[in-house]
Structure 1
């Protein structure tokens, strides 16, 4: 069981990757234009780390609703997987002493199987424990959110806006309160952006160290469902920094969800939506995959493509962005758990 996703969004006034004090992250990118290849030395982009973090947050929220196992950190919305035991205090976790001791014992001495059973976060997003060394590869991969080249629009389209904190009455002392009234700058960007993601649903609940499934089938299906549903809030730009004061003015333009019930080997990485012909390339790529491994394939599309079916491969156009993922969930039979 495999899943892949690409999404293209129009995003205005975002501050999604403001990981520094006063600027949005910018990276060099090469685009193909009508005049050949062009280097943009400072294109506004959002890291895959940021996307992965927010998927983990939405995964934990949905998993809790479905009754899926969560560790104390994921339960409180902290996407920190397998932290050093001596850094975790009972007061910080807001849990009882017995739960705290069991959690610390699992962090310190637990096997990969133990940690998978403990939490869907460690299962799906992987972890690295330094002592004793134990590593689990993430089942979910994210590209960067990258801008799509728009002919005639100079990049990067971003601006710096000065903000001020408003305090009703500013006392003379302490000095810190007076300084809080000082203006502070924030950068905002606009553009058409895209990202791609992969998820190996087949290996949910399976430990790499012993190559066997360590949770029951019902728990596995719930985890698979929660993993896919966690992508839905991301389709309208609800990921990244500064959401409280600059929730992006976003509109999904194209969403493509690719899924297979029979595929056991992982999907190839989908071509990123930053490339103009990404959909055509992905359709050919995944058709070849399905033919080579003799597996089924459903491609759910919003905003692009045409419905058709050939052999075990179906392209299905849906009416809204979330429906692409919902249809994939129904196709896998995960909507019944």
Structure 2
């Protein structure tokens, strides 16, 4: 049996309270959070708190790494160490492909050599090569709904019982009594993501799958589970003291069994669930029941939908 669906998309509203997943720098002793300009539901420009899609891609990739190690999926030396350079840190692999290697053959070897580079994408630039593998999973920004998302700054101090005076040490080191301000954000965040399951193990240059069906299924299951776990335990910065409160997750999962993509509509549109269902209905006129949608109103409902889909891959 082949993979039962070719693409999966999620459009949803994730309610997070008191999180710090999206800090972008500091000014003096004030840590700054990320703000973006968007158009609201009425088409008016506004500034809101947002979490970069890069952050959730890192969260998903770290969960995928754990799954891959646990199940013995092939990993390059870089991915084994969670190196940001991935296969570019695998000296033996680079020695094998040599300089200015044929991109089609290099991609074939990458797909066999590393499941994470297959699923997450990679750019090989070492040894004068230039070969790109596009990711099979795509994350948009998580954008706070303007009316219900807020960011505040809170006073913190590192108290040193041996030093009561000043801020920090005279030599500029991080000793002594430091005063700083850290932000925390709360609200509903609109998210969209897409997973191209049909491209798992697929050589975009040779236009054919390079790994066997059983191994493709294992990688598809690992990819779907890593997406699921990203909304069970979001990893990231400042979690030791600002573990996000995950209050709710609601939205729509859509899947497609053909080359027609599973649709997404941003939850910034208040009618996004109805829009997705109507889009699916219209597209199914072209390909009968090629697209299915599954609405969810809680994290538990989302978990059940994802586990049901993962079990179909088996």
Q: TM-score, normalised on structure 2?
A: 0.84
Match of 2:81 among 76, 86, 96: 76
Is the Cα contact below 8 Å between 1:11 and 1:250 reproduced in 2?
Answer: yes
The equivalent residue for 2:226 is 230
- Displacement of 1:27 after TM fit? 0.5
Counterparts of 1:216 and 1:193 in 2: how far apart (Å)?
38
Correspondences of 1:129-208 after superposition (within 5 Å): 129-130=124-125, 131-150=128-147, 157-167=150-160, 169=162, 175-176=171-172, 179=175, 181-208=177-204
1:30 corresponds, among 30, 39, 47, to: 39
CA distance in structure 2 between the partners assigned to 1:228 and 1:249 by the alignment? 23
Q: Which residue of 2 aligns with 1:326?
A: 307
Over 3 Å counting, the alpha-carbon distance change for 1:68 and 1:175 in structure 2 is same
Determine which of 115, 119, 125 is the counterpart of 1:124: 119
Q: Give the SS at the match of 1:271.
A: coil
- Cα RMSD of the aligned pairs, angstroms, is 2.7
Offset at 1:295? 4.8
The superposition leaves residues 300-325 of structure 1 with CA deviations (integer Å, 9 ceiling, x where unpaired) of 22119xxxxxxxxxxxxx95221121
- SS of 1:121's equivalent in the other structure is helix
- Select 2:261's aligned residue among 264, 267, 273: 267
**Aligned with residue 39 of structure 1, among 31, 41, 45:** 45
Q: Who is 1:300 aligned against?
A: 294
Change over 3 Å in CA distance of 1:168–1:291 after alignment to 2 = farther
Once residues 9 and 76 of structure 1 are traced to their aligned partners in structure 2, the CA distance between those partners, rounded to angstroms, is 31
Structure 1: give runs of 5+ residues left out of the alignment: 89-99, 305-317
Matched, 1:112 2:101: no
Distance 1:239 1:107 in 2: 35
Counterpart in 2 of 1:9? 14
Can you give the 5+ residue segments of structure 2 that lack an aligned partner in the other structure? 1-5
Following superposition of structure 1 onto structure 2, how do residues 206-245 of structure 1 map, counting pairs within 5 Å? 206-236=202-232, 238-245=234-241
> What residue is the counterpart of 1:287 in the other structure?
281
Separation in structure 2 between the aligned mates of residue 226 and residue 193 of structure 1, nearest angstrom: 25
Task: Kindly state the Cα deviation for residue 173 of structure 1 after the two structures are TM-superposed.
Answer: 8.0
Aligned residue pairs total 295
